Chains A and B, each alone.
Chain A
Amino acid sequence: MPPEIVIPAIDVRVIAPMLTIFAWATVLLMVDLFMPGKDRKLTGYLALAGLAVTALVTLAVQPAPGTSRTSFSNMVVLDSFGTTLTLILLLIAAFSIAISINYLSYHNIEMGEYYPLILFATGGMILLGQSTNLILVFLGVELLSITLYVLTAFFYPRYTSEEAGLKYLLLGAFAAGFLIYGIALIYGGAGTLDLFEIGAFLNTSLAVGSAFPPGALLVLIGGALVLIGFCFKISLVPFHMWTPDVYEGSPTPVAAFMSVGTKGAAFAALLRILIVALLPFKIYWLPVLGVLATLTMLFGNIAALMQPNMKRMLAYSSVGHAGYITIGIMTAGTHGTESFLFYLLAYALANMGAFAVLITLERRGEMAWSVDDFAGLWKRYPLLAIAMATFMLSLAGVPPTAGFFGKFFVFAAAWEDGQIFLVFMGVLSSAIAAFFYLRVIMRMFMDEPVREVIPIFNRGLTITIGIAVVGTIVFGLLPTPLVSLVQNSVIALGVGG
């Protein structure tokens, strides 16, 4: 007897942001196809308009504070956490497109598909942040990964770009194998793919007796495999090997997009899985994440110390920042999600800005920037040097920048949770990190120019760098509005809570 088919109640508001961005991307793909001429800048501007429309839709459908909406048989949820994350992701995507528009034509890789691909990846990230069903988590991960494989290799026929794309694809697909094997085991153990129901299953089955039920054991093993899959995506040590190669080979705006967007979305999905479904297993995942975070912070920052190439240095620094965000995730069970969201926004502003500065210095046909290119920048382009210094200070976590408060909130939450050792390791690795961030600043302000570098400016780059600088400093001086925003961004722990 086949199961009776019940069409679930559908609340379009829940998926309205995703729906908007996917529809816009699809239409944009067609519009671009029939657009005459070789100039693709208009496609880029239309993509920016799409992001703006999506942001408006997101604001229009946002739930009242403290409430959430679920729909499609509880497969997607719209809570204030998801809304805030969506807005941050849209900002990141807008920055990436703004710095791409002239970059693509300058490097002769101007193809209209680029912008719809960014929109599709952003849609995948939004989906990842809102899904409460493991099918959708998997779909979101794959949607953003597959588009990013293509974007990484977009610099055809530059051979490093192709190499980066292949490496990313092979490792990403490999990680996806672990991810869904874990999901399959969770499904077998708990008998459901719904995060809320998995949590309820674990609560009842663990409460029965002292014995460890086999279903819960399967969920535990599956959870570990899912964690491995996510570790690849968010490049936690020891699953980070691909990160520097992929960042170095890919087009710089894509590297910027990847370093912040993928991390934010994947961390959000991991957060939801850990908090909503696997909270009864906190005694198991907390120490594992602690070890991973420690390794990641130390290794990422020490490796960044050795890099003469700026793009690789930023790649390793993004590995290190993944470690700090992991600490934010670990405390989310007790302290809410505010430290995670604040850190993500601060990191997004500083990192997008730093990559934008790299793009201004990028020459046609060159693919390596050494720190030497920044030497003496202050003497010739003082504004650019000040911007870069702001981003470096924010990444290092020096007041009065947003990055300082990001680190401060993460460490404060961990301290209150009693994770003294983690706070200690975090501060230690921040000290290591400060060394190489400050080295860039020293070279810019103290040294004489090593070789002639002429920056290229255009509207997109200037606006991005401007917004990033202003945001970094304003949120560093006046964090209160942002703090109240992220404090109200509560993750939905139950259906329709």
Chain B
Amino acid sequence: MLQDYTPILVMFLMSLFVPLFVISLSAVLGPKRGSKRKLAPYESGMEPIGPAMRRFPVKFYVVAMLFILFDIEAIFFFPYALAFRDLGLYGLGVMGVFLVLLVVGFVYEWKKGALRWD
């Protein structure tokens, strides 16, 4: 049983090995002649100002939160997708009710302006 998966394991190891090999090859073989200009973060352009980890606006959080909710609620469609032939009309009706509830949540956040960006 488990042996059936050996090709996948081999494939996985190969795909891990090839990029590692190529990257390390270029690092070993490539010439390294650094100068002050070359070692700067940007060879041409501005010196970086301030740290890259900036505080970003709270609205990203709001969108992320809403995304999590709708993304996770879609989880209930997976069992339905597996069994929808057997469930027939009954299952369709139940999932319809579930979808209506999702839409209610969506309409709510829309009207509340949570989706407006500015």
Contact = CB atoms under 8 A, between A and B. Distances in A.
Are A and B associated in one complex?
yes
Contacts of B86: 5
B55 interface: no
B70 interface: no
Contact of A33 (B83, B90, B101, B107): B107
A450 interface: no
B65 interface: no
A207 B82 CA distance: 40
B90 A7 contact: yes
Interface in A1-43: 2, 5, 7, 26, 29-30, 33-34
Contacts, number: 18
A34 B107 CA distance: 10
B111 A33 contact: yes
Contacts of B108: 29-30, 33
Nearest to A33: B111
Contacts of A7: 87, 90
B91 to A, nearest CB: 8
B104 interface: yes
Contacts of A2: 82
A30 B90 contact: no
Contacts of A33: 107-108, 111-112
Interface residues of A, number: 8
B97 to A, nearest CB: 10
A7 B93 CA distance: 13
A33 B107 CA distance: 9
Main SS of chain B's interface residues?
helix
A34 B101 CA distance: 17
A5 B83 contact: yes
A30 to B, nearest CB: 6
A33 B90 CA distance: 31
Interface string B8-33: 00000000000000000000000000
A5 B111 CA distance: 40
Contact of B104 (A5, A26, A34): A26
A404 to B, nearest CB: 46
A398 B112 CA distance: 50
Interface in B78-118: 82-83, 86-87, 90, 101, 104, 107-108, 111-112
A33 B109 CA distance: 10
Contacts of B104: 26, 29-30
A30 B107 contact: yes
Nearest to A34: B111
B4 to A, nearest CB: 19
Contacts of A26: 101, 104
A312 B112 CA distance: 35
B76 to A, nearest CB: 13
Nearest to B83: A5
Contacts of A30: 104, 107-108
A10 B87 CA distance: 14
A364 to B, nearest CB: 26
Nearest to B104: A26
A5 B87 contact: yes
Nearest to B82: A2
B65 to A, nearest CB: 13
Most chain A beta-carbon contacts within 10 A, residue among B90, B104, B112: B104
B1 to A, nearest CB: 16
Contacts of B87: 5, 7
A172 B86 CA distance: 39
Nearest to B94: A7
Nearest to A27: B104
A140 to B, nearest CB: 17
Nearest to A4: B86
B69 to A, nearest CB: 12
A7 B83 CA distance: 11
A234 to B, nearest CB: 29
Interface string A425-445: 000000000000000000000
A23 B83 CA distance: 27
Nearest to B110: A33
Nearest to A5: B86
A30 B90 CA distance: 26
Contacts of A34: 111
A16 to B, nearest CB: 15
A29 B112 CA distance: 12
A93 B95 CA distance: 30
Contacts of B111: 33-34
A323 B86 CA distance: 50
A7 B92 CA distance: 13
B99 to A, nearest CB: 13
Contacts of B101: 26
Contacts of B90: 7
Nearest to B101: A26
A376 B82 CA distance: 70
Interface of B: 82-83, 86-87, 90, 101, 104, 107-108, 111-112
18 contacts: A2-B82, A5-B83, A5-B86, A5-B87, A7-B87, A7-B90, A26-B101, A26-B104, A29-B104, A29-B108, A30-B104, A30-B107, A30-B108, A33-B107, A33-B108, A33-B111, A33-B112, A34-B111
* Nearest 9 interchain pairs by C-beta: A5-B86, A33-B111, A5-B83, A26-B104, A7-B90, A33-B108, A30-B104, A29-B108, A5-B87
